[in-house]
Amino acid sequence: MKDIPRITSSTAAKSEFYPELLEQIKAITEDQSYWVTNLSNAAAIIYHELRGLAFFQAKPINWAGFYLVDPNDDQKLILGPFQGKVACTEIPFSKGVCGAAATTRTTQVIKDVHQFPGHIACDSASNSEIVVPLVKDGRLLGVLDIDCEETEGFDECDQAGLEAVAKVIIDNCAW
């Protein structure tokens, strides 16, 4: 098993957290190109490290994972690898925060999901959410979706960090 760098309590400041998260994601994906494998490990790292960060900064993540463009319907997302409670299996592009990220191909930082028209409540514990689109060479592949139990769980720092993480994942997988 490859040695994956760990994030320690001394690096729990969010500005230092994301570069270290990026190194972990690079290390776990660079020798592997199968997307199921890489997305599974990426979901596990993101979920557990963000919850570790939450220990210091009180940000309780309750779901982290991927929705992928349905190979049989390019206007629909289907559930991919994730960590957290059971989630809805299909999301049309016209629905939810994930649908908005897929349609606009821009990251959605939603401070209060209950104020978002069409939000899909898979887990009633979710109060805020960030969704990063995965786009490679102009092709939408899916989205990275992370939920938080607190309102205003994500900001521009999370957005920049997670967009960089998404890029590494995209580049290290064969799609």
Q: Are 95 and 122 in contact (CB under 8 A)?
A: no
- Counting contacts by CB under 6 A, is residue 170 touching ligand SME? no
Q: How near is the Cβ of 67 to ligand SME at its closest, in Å?
A: 7
Identify the residue among 42, 61, 69, 97 touching ligand SME (CB under 6 A).
97
User: CA of 66: how far to CAs of 5, 8, 100, 142, in Å?
Assistant: 23, 26, 15, 7
Number of residues that bind ligand SME (CB under 6 A): 14
b/e 135-146 (16+ beta carbons within 10 angstroms → b):
beeeebbbbbbb
Smallest gap from residue 120 Cβ to ligand SME (A) = 4
Per rule CB under 6 A, is residue 145 in the interface with ligand SME?
Answer: yes
Q: Which residue is nearest to ligand SME (CB)?
A: 96
Residue 38 tokens, joined: 């890489």
Q: Which stretch binds ligand SME (CB under 6 A): 15-23, 94-102, 155-163, 166-174?
A: 94-102
Question: 100: closest CA among 117, 122, 124?
Answer: 117
Establish if 63 lies at the interface with ligand SME (CB under 6 A): yes
What span, in angstroms and rounded, lies between the C-alpha atoms of 97 and 133? 11
Residues that bind ligand SME (CB under 6 A): 63, 87-88, 91, 96-98, 119-120, 122, 126, 129, 145, 147
